[in-house]
Amino acid sequence: MKARVTANAAYAVADIDKRLYGSFLEHLGRAVYTGIYEPGHPQADAEGMRKDVIELVRALDTPICRYPGGNFVSAYNWEDGIGPKENRPRRLDLAWRTTEPNLVGIHEFADWAEKAGTEMMLAVNLGSRGLDEARAFVEYVNHPGGSYWSDLRARNGRTQPWNCRLWCLGNEMDGPWQVGHKLASEYGHLANETAKALRGLDPTVELVVCGSSHSNMPTYPQWEATVLEATYEQVDYISLHMYFENYEKNTAEYLALPAKLDRYIGTVAGIIDYVKAKTRSKRDVKISFDEWNVWYHQRQRDAERMRAWDWPEAPRLLEDIYNFEDVLQVGCIINTFIRRSDIVRIACIAQLVNVIAPIMTDPGGGAWRQTIYWPFMLASRHGRGTALQLAVEVPTYDAAAADKVPWLDIAGVHNSNAGTLTFFAINRHGSETIEADVALERFAAKSIEHTIIRHDDLEACNTKDAPDTVSPVKGNGAALSSKGMTLKLPPHSYSMVRVTL
């Protein structure tokens, strides 16, 4: 199959916010306990944090990590996680029907984030709690000193404020499964009042208001319009979430789902414009896509297990084992965010460790990279700079999610500081190689490098015993040409092509 692509240095979408490569860690299953925190593990540091996990997170170079939830935050008392560990309460977590020992709280997470080379994106509980607890939390985390909560922080061992910039005003408040679920009008009012108070306390915070949990919600897209009309002057981002499934085991249909993601982003961008016009505002609200990933491998089994269990502590939950097909999907999802980086400024892979995650651990044992670790890492490390508006001509197919899905999914990023031009390309076709002529206009290419992820078996996984089954290798499908470059992308493959300028 032939394709033609044109990249022109002058045709830019936006300068990518590095927070497009954010991540998420929730008190859920083994994400925290036996994930990042396991005192007594041979790799644990003095604070009980696993150094092997920190190393894998550092290599991902994820600039922000959302915490502590997720559904968990909607019934969480952040004060349970401060002070001497022996005094912290054990609580029943209503979101996942587990027992939360509160051995990790804001101090431990903040220390871990620093070690892992990431910044905190914190969520306040607007489900079971409200404005007052939210303002206390922000005061505890960000106020320099001389007030009740900031002095308590100092007594608990941290004199300097953490100055967390990004705050989520609750989580998925449109979802009936949420503790303290709200109507759009109720939530909009509460979020606006909370935002005013938080900004009053710390004018430097950036606030994220909840949009829809996914685009199949019955309240979507009216939820976005109502909530934004109530909060437009006080918030900076609207949060969207989407998880990808392939229960039918149909690869072409599965890989067409990012077209639905693209439509979701486009619709919400339109609603933002509508509310901006309606409120006669000068401000710009952007999208924080702060939960996205493949999530279906264990989902039905988990739901049955959860119904039957008796408040276990750190059970195996949402431990999806990813395969090679998911590498292609994650590549297409990230490409969608790059192409929409003018409006999607923040995105968080959900989640980071053990729970629908790129990193897995064994309690007392090793840590390894799932298949999806690789496309995320390559994009996070090499997808920084200016997103390019590429012109792509390639045959398409019709799918349930959308018509005219291109067999080639490609995104391009120009980093003028580093002098690089990087393309992320996925061949969605299962039997045809894509031969692409790529015109590079107003770029002077010097050299080219091809990295490829491919496996004959779409279901191939990385396990603790075979951790490198699916991993990137040097490819030989990219060459410079008189007009730019040529690419040969094998069927069902993920490629990163880096041009030095």
Catalytic residues, by residue number, are: 172, 291
> Token pair 């915070």 is at which residue?
205
User: Segment contacting ligand AHR (CB under 6 A): 1-9, 55-63, 65-73, 150-158?
Assistant: 65-73
- Taking the C-alpha atoms of residue 405 and residue 151, their distance in angstroms, rounded to an integer, is 56
E-state strands within 285-383: 286-294, 344-350, 359-361, 367-369
Tell me the closest approach of the beta carbon of residue 271 to ligand AHR, in angstroms.
21
Total of residues contacting ligand AHR (CB under 6 A)? 10
- Taking the C-alpha atoms of residue 446 and residue 364, their distance in angstroms, rounded to an integer, is 48
- Taking the C-alpha atoms of residue 173 and residue 416, their distance in angstroms, rounded to an integer, is 41
**For the CA atoms of the chain, what is the radius of gyration?**
23
Q: Are 360 and 29 in contact (CB under 8 A)?
A: no
With CB under 6 A as the contact rule, the residue among 351, 386, 427, 462 that binds ligand AHR is: 351
The one-letter amino acid at 225: A
Site string for ligand AHR, 146-175 (x = CB under 6 A): -------------------------xx---
Site residues (CB under 6 A) for ligand AHR, limited to 304-343: none
Q: Are 127 and 74 in contact (CB under 8 A)?
A: yes
Site residues (CB under 6 A) for ligand AHR, limited to 403-432: none
With CB under 6 A as the contact rule, the residue among 26, 262, 325, 326 that binds ligand AHR is: 26
With CB under 6 A as the contact rule, the residue among 317, 350, 421, 497 that binds ligand AHR is: 350
Task: Rule CB under 6 A: say whether 239 interacts with ligand AHR.
Answer: no
Phi and psi for 71 in degrees, rounded to 5? -55, -30
| SS3 state at 238 | strand
Q: Which is it for strands 237-244 and 206-210: parallel, antiparallel or unpaired?
A: parallel
Which residue number, 68 or 375, has a Cβ lying nearer to ligand AHR?
68
Smallest Cα–Cα separation from 134: which of 124, 148, 121, 145?
124
Which residue number, 175 or 475, has a Cβ lying nearer to ligand AHR?
175
Tell me the closest approach of the beta carbon of residue 95 to ligand AHR, in angstroms.
7
Tell me the closest approach of the beta carbon of residue 42 to ligand AHR, in angstroms.
29
With CB under 6 A as the contact rule, the residue among 23, 71, 118, 192 that binds ligand AHR is: 71
Smallest Cα–Cα separation from 184: which of 218, 150, 141?
218
Which residue number, 172 or 202, has a Cβ lying nearer to ligand AHR?
172
Which residue number, 69 or 127, has a Cβ lying nearer to ligand AHR?
69
Site residues (CB under 6 A) for ligand AHR, limited to 281-310: 291
User: Segment contacting ligand AHR (CB under 6 A): 64-72, 399-407, 445-453, 472-480?
Assistant: 64-72
Cβ-closest position to ligand AHR: 70
Which residue number, 119 or 172, has a Cβ lying nearer to ligand AHR?
172
If DSSP states are collapsed to H, E and C, what string results for 173-205? Answer: CCCCCCCCCCCHHHHHHHHHHHHHHHHHHCCCC
With CB under 6 A as the contact rule, the residue among 35, 63, 70, 127 that binds ligand AHR is: 70
Q: Are 421 and 443 in contact (CB under 8 A)?
A: yes
Which residue number, 29 or 475, has a Cβ lying nearer to ligand AHR?
29
Smallest Cα–Cα separation from 339: which of 7, 1, 4?
7
Site residues (CB under 6 A) for ligand AHR, limited to 199-238: 213
Tell me the closest approach of the beta carbon of residue 171 to ligand AHR, in angstroms.
5
With CB under 6 A as the contact rule, the residue among 35, 69, 101, 180 that binds ligand AHR is: 69
Smallest Cα–Cα separation from 314: which of 34, 91, 93?
34
- Taking the C-alpha atoms of residue 150 and residue 161, their distance in angstroms, rounded to an integer, is 8
Residues at the contact surface with ligand AHR, assessed by CB under 6 A = 26, 69-71, 171-172, 213, 291, 350-351
